[in-house]
């Protein structure tokens, strides 16, 4: 636990699956960490997002009780930096001297490149891409949300896999994808067709569930691919190519060919990552491994905002 008089910054990654916070001293010492529920306001709600952030802040502040000089929030679902009124609202809610509000892609970019040029693709529940060029120009690609975009994301993978399984059911074909969907939804494959249909529709369109809930089915697709299912593997490979295409478009506009991937899909799914990196190399881009986590990327940006030597402070984060 930190000294009550120690000054610190907070970095917060507000994602579609988790909200993660870290407290860091102005010398770069990590003072506390916390993880709470999903906080993407597009796939949960504004209230749920606020509650997730405050729960994470309270948990990390129990470990680090000094004065909060600066907070950086990277919020999934945002496509640009927050306006002054939003920064003021968060500053008052958190109890900090200053707050920066931006997208989750912004803090992931810092976690990969610091202040250097590069392209960062974030693929979690949703997806988007952010690039900074040699002159500091900012280029965003994607991030259009689950209804009209989010190519290559967990939700994109899950939506296509579920559709494939439902088409299999229409054709009365008992495929591994359909069996997996039935198990996921708690539907017995041996039930009468009308009962299976009713149960699947009720689960897939349950109005009580947030929009991004079924993104978790992407994990089942990953498991099937690992077991040798060709259709699942092909879908994951296509997800990697979709993410690479976003990066290549952003890199061409920004004037940089260095590309990092972040988010649960690229970190946690080897098939997507292999396809992503292969597609980048085929087009002359250079895959880069992030040097730290997005929440620490957010803390890094807070240190930069305070004029601290952020690179020296972050040297041991790894």
pLDDT of 268 reads 87
| pLDDT tens track for 61-112 | 999 988 999 999 998 877 777 677 788 888 888 888 999 999 889 999 999 9
Nearest to 217 by CA among 169, 185, 172: 185
Concatenating the DSSP letter of every residue in 221-288 gives HHHHHHTT-HHHHHHHHHHHHHHHHHHHHHHHHHT--EEEEESHHHHH-HHHHHHHHHHHHHTT-EEE
| pLDDT tens track for 25-47 | 999 999 999 988 877 777 677 88
127-132/68-75 β-pairing? unpaired
Distant-in-sequence, close-in-space partners of 224: CB < 8 Å, separation ≥ 6: 176, 177, 180, 231, 232
Mean pLDDT, the chain, integer: 90
pLDDT of 95 reads 87
| pLDDT tens track for 242-281 | 999 999 999 999 999 999 999 889 988 999 999 999 999 9
- Rounded average pLDDT over 159-169: 95
- CA 117 to CA 298: how far, in whole Å? 17
pLDDT of 4 reads 63
pLDDT of 209 reads 85
- CA 83 to CA 89: how far, in whole Å? 10
pLDDT of 40 reads 74
Distant-in-sequence, close-in-space partners of 21: CB < 8 Å, separation ≥ 6: 10, 11, 12, 13, 33, 34, 35, 36, 53, 56, 57, 59, 60, 295
For the cut 60, the answer to whether the pLDDT of residue 2 exceeds it is no
pTM of the predicted model as reported, rounded to 2 decimal places: 0.88
């Amino acid at each position: 636990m930190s000294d009550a008089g120690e000054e610190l910054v907070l970095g917060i990654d507000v994602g579609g699956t988790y909200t993660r916070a870290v407290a860091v001293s102005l010398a770069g010492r990590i003072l506390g960490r916390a993880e709470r529920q999903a906080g993407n306001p597009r796939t949960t709600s504004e209230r749920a997002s606020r509650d997730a952030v405050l729960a994470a802040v309270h948990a990390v502040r129990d470990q680090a009780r000094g004065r909060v000089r600066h907070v950086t929030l990277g919020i999934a679902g945002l496509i640009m930096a927050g306006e002054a009124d939003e920064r003021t609202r968060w500053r008052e809610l958190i109890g900090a001297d200053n707050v920066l509000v931006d997208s989750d892609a912004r803090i992931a970019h810092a976690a990969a490149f610091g202040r250097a040029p590069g392209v960062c693709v974030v693929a979690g529940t949703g997806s988007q891409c952010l690039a900074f060029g040699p002159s500091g120009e900012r280029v965003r690609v994607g991030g259009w949300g689950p209804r009209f975009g989010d190519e290559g994301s967990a939700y994109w993978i899950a939506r296509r896999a579920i559709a494939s399984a439902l088409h299999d059911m229409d054709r009365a074909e008992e495929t591994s994808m359909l069996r997996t969907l039935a198990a996921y939804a708690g539907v017995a494959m041996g039930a009468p067709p009308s009962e299976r249909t009713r149960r699947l529709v009720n689960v897939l369109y349950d109005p009580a569930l947030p929009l991004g809930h079924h993104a978790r089915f992407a994990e089942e697709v990953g498991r099937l691919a690992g077991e040798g299912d060709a259709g699942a593997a092909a879908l994951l490979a296509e997800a990697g190519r979709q993410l690479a295409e976003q990066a290549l478009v952003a890199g061409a506009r920004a004037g940089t060919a260095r590309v990092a991937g972040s988010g649960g899909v690229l970190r946690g799914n080897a098939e997507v990552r292999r396809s992503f990196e292969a597609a980048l190399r085929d087009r002359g881009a250079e895959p880069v491994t992030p040097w730290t986590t997005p929440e620490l990327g957010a803390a890094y940006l807070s240190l930069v905002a305070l004029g601290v030597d952020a690179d020296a402070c972050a040297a041991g984060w790894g």
